[in-house]
Amino acid sequence: MTFIFPLRIKGGKPIPLFPFVAAVFFCSVNGALQTSGILLPNTQIHHWFQKARFCLGIIILFFTGMCINIRSDILLTSLRREKEGTYQTPRGFLIEYVSGANFLGEKVEWICFSVACFNLPSLASAIFTLCNIGPRALHHHRFYLEKFEDYPKDRKALIPFLL
């Protein structure tokens, strides 16, 4: 997703240099940590993680999260193409339940990755991602509520029916 989403954006706003460099730095460090966490020689997979049903479930959940993330990003970026320069109320797919459906998908991905890897770097990354996307989802939700009079009041920010 690090490379896919930016390439899908057409005619977006210019990105200031510092946030761009910070994002590249974060993704590079995170990638190095995840790789080292997976390849460490003393990483052990506990016996209950080796059961096929558990592994298959985690893989299915991870890819479900990824599909939610990608599908939601496609819907949000298509809003930009339909009416250039104007904001529209996001609709469709899981966006009907949560304003930050793309954030929900990303959250599911990182939690599943952390459970599958069962190591400190993946757990840290899952926690940092949650701490980052939670406030972003709340901010986007507040923006939508203020910007659009017809925005559904029962739609949640990040977790369907809860938050």
Domain ranges of the chain: 48-153
Residue 153 pLDDT > 80: yes
Contacts with 98 (C-beta within 8 Å, 6 or more apart), sequence order = 104, 137, 155, 156, 157, 158, 159, 160
Q: What pLDDT score does 84 carry?
A: 61
Half-sphere exposure of 94 (CA within 13 A, CB side): 22
- Res. 105 pLDDT band, cuts 50 70 90: very high
Measured CA to CA, the distance from residue 143 to residue 147 in angstroms comes to 6
pTM of structure:
0.75
Q: Of 3-12, 123-132, 146-155, which gets the smallest average pLDDT?
A: 3-12
Q: What is the mean pLDDT of residues 65-74?
A: 90
How far, in Å, CA of 96 to CA of 90, rounded?
Answer: 8
pLDDT of residue 61: 87
Distance CA 117, CA 44 (A): 9
Label residues 134-148 b or e (16+ Cβ within 10 Å = b): beebbebbeebeeee
